[in-house]
């Protein structure tokens, strides 16, 4: 082993230790960053061979990510935890959830300007959806060589949403806007029959529009249907607890296993992380700007802080918006509205990923 290769391994092990530190000391998405960080340590042990053909990390990637099994199962668990009642009661809030995906298009154009191919640009831009499993599947299908940087970037920035959302919200909104109170009831109870029909209807509608996204939306809505049907309580509880935890562990190790020094330490990785930051920032900023527009259109009856909740980082984005509102007015309870929009972000991010998977190849074939 050469000196430069050893130095690269040590550097990536240092990155892994930083991720572990952030998970333990700062509490940044510990369920993900801790196994990702430890996976990086395992992958970069000199002569360890864990990420090489036949090694544990290699097998986890081959059978967990390449087959798309782990991201799909993760969506089942996420769906089992989702409560779409607020969104069903106020479907207009879904528009803000889709607004939270606008950063995808900003990043797509930036990536193309930096010289990435259209499929590579699509894989990088989906980081703006702030949805780790979607980013993994899009990158795996369109740009497998970028899977590691895209996945690590997506999950790392997701863990730091409060560090981005808080200053951006204060910068873009005024105190008067942050004091705005929502005037329609947020906690209307949707009929149980409608809550059962909702996941089936969303899956069918989205899959007919973007069939390549059927796996993503299907698994998300399967988990939610198990929750809302009330007839498979054991499956629902297993999906949202044991299954979700096991999949997070295996997925984290798999992602960490892609962080080998020889594959990770290059200018492309730096550009992917820079574009990932641009994607996250633009998604939050554009959501806040649309929130400001709604504030003025409604005569001050909409709080623009909620505009940042359309991203898929659940429930982090909702909690940050709520706390920012309460800091200005302790009696302003934004959480139900924020959660409804944030839940919509789960649907919107998966729909955006499905649209990219379905239509990017079609558009490319038409152009070339």
% the chain with pLDDT above 90 = 73
| pLDDT, tens only, 283-342 | 999 999 999 999 999 998 899 999 999 988 888 899 999 999 999 999 898 988 999 999
Higher pLDDT, 47 or 247: 247
Q: How far apart are CA 65 and CA 250, in angstroms?
A: 10
Q: How far apart are CA 269 and CA 283, in angstroms?
A: 21
Contact 333, 179 (CB under 8 A): no
What are the structure tokens assigned to 107, written together?
A: 């990043």
Bond into 315 cis (ω within 30): yes
Question: Nearest 5 degrees, angle CA 40-CA 46-CA 48?
Answer: 75
| Residue owning tokens 């990510």 | 65
Question: Nearest 5 degrees, angle CA 179-CA 181-CA 185?
Answer: 160
Q: Which 3-state string (H, E, C) describes the chain?
A: CCHHHHHHHHHHHHHHHHHHHHHHHCCCCHHHHHHHHHHHHHHCCCCCCCCCCCCHHHHHHHHHHCCCHHHHHHHHHHHHHCCCHHHHHCHHHHHHHHHCCCHHHHHHHHHHHCCCCHHHHHHHHHHHHCCHHHHHHHHHHHCHHHHHHHHHHHHHHHHCHHHHHHHHHHHHCCHHHHCCCCCCCCCCCCCHHHHHHHHHHHHHHHHHHCHHHHHHHHHHHHHHHHHHHCCCHHHHHHHHHHHHHHHHHHHHHHHHHCCCHHHHCCHHHHHHHHHHHHHHHHHHHHHHHHHHHHHHHCCCCCCHHHHHHHCCCCCHHHHHHHHHHHHHCCCCCCHHHHHHHHHHHHHHHHHHHHHHHHHHHHHHHHHC
**Residue 115 Ramachandran class (φ > 0 left, ψ -120 to 50 alpha, else beta):** left
Write down the pLDDT at residue 187: 57
Residue 252 has pLDDT above 70, yes or no: yes
Write down the pLDDT at residue 19: 94
| pLDDT, tens only, 2-31 | 677 788 899 999 999 999 999 999 888 899
pTM: 0.91
Write down the pLDDT at residue 245: 96
Query: Domain extents for the chain?
Result: 74-367
């Amino acid at each position: 082993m050469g000196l430069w290769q050893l130095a690269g391994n040590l550097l990536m092990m240092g990155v892994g230790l930083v991720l572990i530190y952030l998970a333990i000391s700062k509490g940044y998405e510990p369920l993900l960053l801790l196994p990702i960080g430890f996976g990086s340590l395992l992958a970069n042990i000199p002569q360890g061979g864990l990420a090489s053909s036949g090694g544990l990390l290699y097998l986890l990637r081959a059978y967990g990510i390449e087959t798309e099994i782990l991201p799909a199962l993760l969506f089942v668990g996420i769906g089992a935890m989702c409560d779409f009642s607020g969104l069903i009661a106020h479907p207009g809030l879904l528009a803000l959830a889709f607004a939270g995906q606008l950063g995808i298009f900003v990043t797509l154009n930036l990536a193309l300007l930096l010289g990435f191919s259209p499929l590579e640009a699509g894989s990088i831009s989906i980081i703006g959806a702030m949805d780790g499993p979607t980013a993994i599947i899009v990158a795996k299908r369109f740009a497998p060589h970028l899977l590691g940087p895209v996945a690590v970037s997506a999950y790392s920035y997701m863990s730091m949403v409060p560090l981005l959302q808080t200053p951006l919200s204060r910068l873009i909104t005024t105190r008067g806007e942050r004091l705005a109170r929502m005037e329609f009831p947020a906690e209307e109870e949707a009929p149980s029959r409608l809550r059962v029909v909702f996941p089936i209807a969303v899956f069918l509608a989205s899959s007919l529009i973007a069939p390549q996204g059927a796996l993503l939306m299907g698994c998300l809505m399967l988990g939610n249907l198990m929750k809302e049907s009330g007839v498979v309580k054991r499956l629902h509880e297993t999906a949202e607890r044991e299954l979700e935890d096991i999949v997070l562990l295996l997925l984290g190790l798999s992602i960490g296993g892609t962080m080998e020094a020889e594959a990770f330490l290059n200018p492309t990785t730096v550009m992917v992380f820079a574009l990932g930051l641009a994607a996250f920032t633009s998604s939050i900023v554009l959501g806040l700007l649309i929130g400001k527009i709604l504030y003025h259109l409604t005569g001050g009856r909409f709080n623009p802080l909620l505009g940042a909740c359309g991203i898929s980082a659940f429930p982090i984005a909702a909690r940050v918006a709520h706390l920012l509102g309460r800091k200005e007015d302790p009696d302003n309870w934004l959480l139900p509205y924020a959660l409804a929009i944030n839940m919509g972000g789960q649907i919107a991010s998966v729909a955006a990923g499905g649209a990219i998977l379905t239509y990017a190849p079609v558009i490319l074939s038409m152009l070339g």
